[in-house]
Structure 1
Amino acid sequence: MAWLYLLLAGLLEVVWTTALKYSDGFARMTPVVIILVCAPASLYWLSVAMKSIPLGTSYAVWTGIGSTGAAVVGVIFFNDPVNLGRLFSIVLVVLGIIGLKVFTK
């Protein structure tokens, strides 16, 4: 269950960082409300996952999910650049997340 909590925490991180982009510097209320709900929820689920998953693994996976998800959202919704180097780097992060899952008891 801890890995599902960690996945949820990472996905919520993607939601609140995306809302941060939409908030226009905290000028738009709806994205700000999403941030204020999702950021603490993400940290909560991360803390629950950390009861069973080591600190370094939990944090690395959480930030990996968040950074990969944010990169994908950036490409899809914000026209972030796509090139071989960026795609390769994202694949490396995903492989790192998989490696941490595989090699953590």
Structure 2
Amino acid sequence: MKGWLLLLFAIVLELTGTLSMKYSDGFARVLPSIMMFVCYAASFTMLNLAIKTIDVSVAYAIWSGVGTLLITAAGVFLFKETLTALKIASIMVIIFGVIGLNVASRV
């Protein structure tokens, strides 16, 4: 259970780091730039600790897949990015891949 909680923290930190990257405006803004590095370092640390108890393939797929889903939603809602049918279909492929890896690790 601890590994899954660490993975959740890793995902939240990765999302925060990616949002900070956008807000840094190509390193033009100092605080978001610093936040990006701090959040990514903390995210990788949490992911590293999570894979002590979760298969690395499953943990990484969930970390990157959920992160992709969340940053896509943030892009749509915060930055008014468009959400096309192809983007939705691609996200569904990622979600099904994460589910498949999780199921396969239990067999």
Q: Same fold (TM over 0.5)?
A: yes
| Structure 2 residue aligned with 1:76 | 77
Question: Matched residue pairs, number?
Answer: 105
CA deviation vs aligned residue, 1:33-71 (integer Å, no higher than 9, x gap): 211221111001100111011222222211112211111
Asked if 1:31 is matched to 2:32, the reply is yes
| Structure 2 residue aligned with 1:51 | 52
| Structure 2 residue aligned with 1:67 | 68
Supply the AA of the counterpart residue of 1:72. A
CA deviation vs aligned residue, 1:70-101 (integer Å, no higher than 9, x gap): 11111111121112221122122223223333
Aligned equivalents of 2:4, 2:100: Cα separation in 1: 13
Q: Would the aligned equivalents of 2:75 and 2:81 in 1 still touch at CA under 8 Å?
A: yes
Aligned equivalents of 2:35, 2:88: Cα separation in 1: 28
Q: CA deviation at 1:25?
A: 0.7
Q: Would the aligned equivalents of 1:7 and 1:65 in 2 still touch at CA under 8 Å?
A: no
- 1:27 aligns to what SS in structure 2? coil
Supply the AA of the counterpart residue of 2:4. W
Asked if 1:90 is matched to 2:91, the reply is yes
Aligned equivalents of 2:78, 2:88: Cα separation in 1: 16
